[in-house]
C-alpha cells in the first residue's frame, strides 16, 4: 500500500478541463511489469474529436491502467502495438490494463467511426527506457 501511494504521488495528472495535453510519469517505486505490481492509473477522456491527454508518457516495464471516459459517443481507445483496445461508454468509466513492455512512440486512436473528424482522433503513447 505504501509503495502504491509513492507511485501515485509521482504522477502528475492533467485533465481536459485544465487544458493540458500530456501527463508525465516518473520511474516506478517497485519492480514494474510483474503481475502483482500495482498498475499506474492514467485517466484518458475520448470525445469528438480528440483525446485528452493526447500524449501519455510511461516508463518501459510499467503496468498501466487506462481509465477511460467518453462523454459524447462510444469512442474506441486502441493501441495497436500493444494489442490494447476498449470502448469508452458514455456514463461509465472503463479500465484497460497492459504492460508497456517495449520502448518507443506508439499511436493510439479511436477505432469506432464517430463522425467527420474521426480520423483526427489520435494520440501518442511514449514509452521511455528507465
Cis before 29? omega within 30: no
Closest approach, Cβ 84 to Cu ion, in A, equals 16
Nearer to Cu ion, 71 or 104 (CB): 71
Q: List the grid coordinates of 75.
A: 469512442
DSSP 85-105: EEEE-TT--EEEEEE--S-EE
CB nearer to Cu ion: give 58 or 121: 121
Is the Cβ of residue 21 or residue 128 nearer to Cu ion in the bound state?
A: 21
Which CB, 64 or 110, lies closer to Cu ion?
110
Cell 498501466, located at residue: 64
What 3-state class would DSSP assign to 107?
strand
CB of 71 to Cu ion, least distance (A): 12
The least distance separating Cu ion from the CB of residue 105, rounded to whole angstroms, comes to 21
- β-sheet bridge partners, residue 97: 65
DSSP state of 53: S
Angstrom distance (rounded) from CA 43 to CA 29:
20
Residues near Cu ion, by CB under 5 A: 75, 110, 114, 121
Amino acid at each position: 500500500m505504501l509503495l502504491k501511494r509513492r507511485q501515485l504521488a509521482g504522477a502528475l495528472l492533467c485533465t481536459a478541463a485544465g487544458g493540458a495535453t500530456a501527463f508525465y510519469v516518473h520511474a516506478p517505486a517497485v519492480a514494474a511489469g510483474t503481475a502483482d505490481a500495482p498498475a499506474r492509473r492514467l485517466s484518458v477522456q475520448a470525445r469528438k474529436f480528440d483525446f485528452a491527454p493526447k500524449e501519455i508518457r510511461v516508463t518501459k516495464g510499467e503496468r498501466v491502467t487506462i481509465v477511460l471516459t467518453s462523454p459524447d459517443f462510444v469512442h474506441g481507445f486502441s493501441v495497436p502495438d500493444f494489442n490494447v483496445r476498449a470502448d469508452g461508454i458514455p456514463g461509465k468509466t472503463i479500465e484497460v490494463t497492459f504492460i508497456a513492455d517495449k520502448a518507443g512512440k506508439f499511436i493510439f486512436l479511436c477505432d469506432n467511426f464517430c463522425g467527420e473528424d474521426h480520423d483526427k482522433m489520435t494520440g501518442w503513447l511514449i514509452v521511455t527506457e528507465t
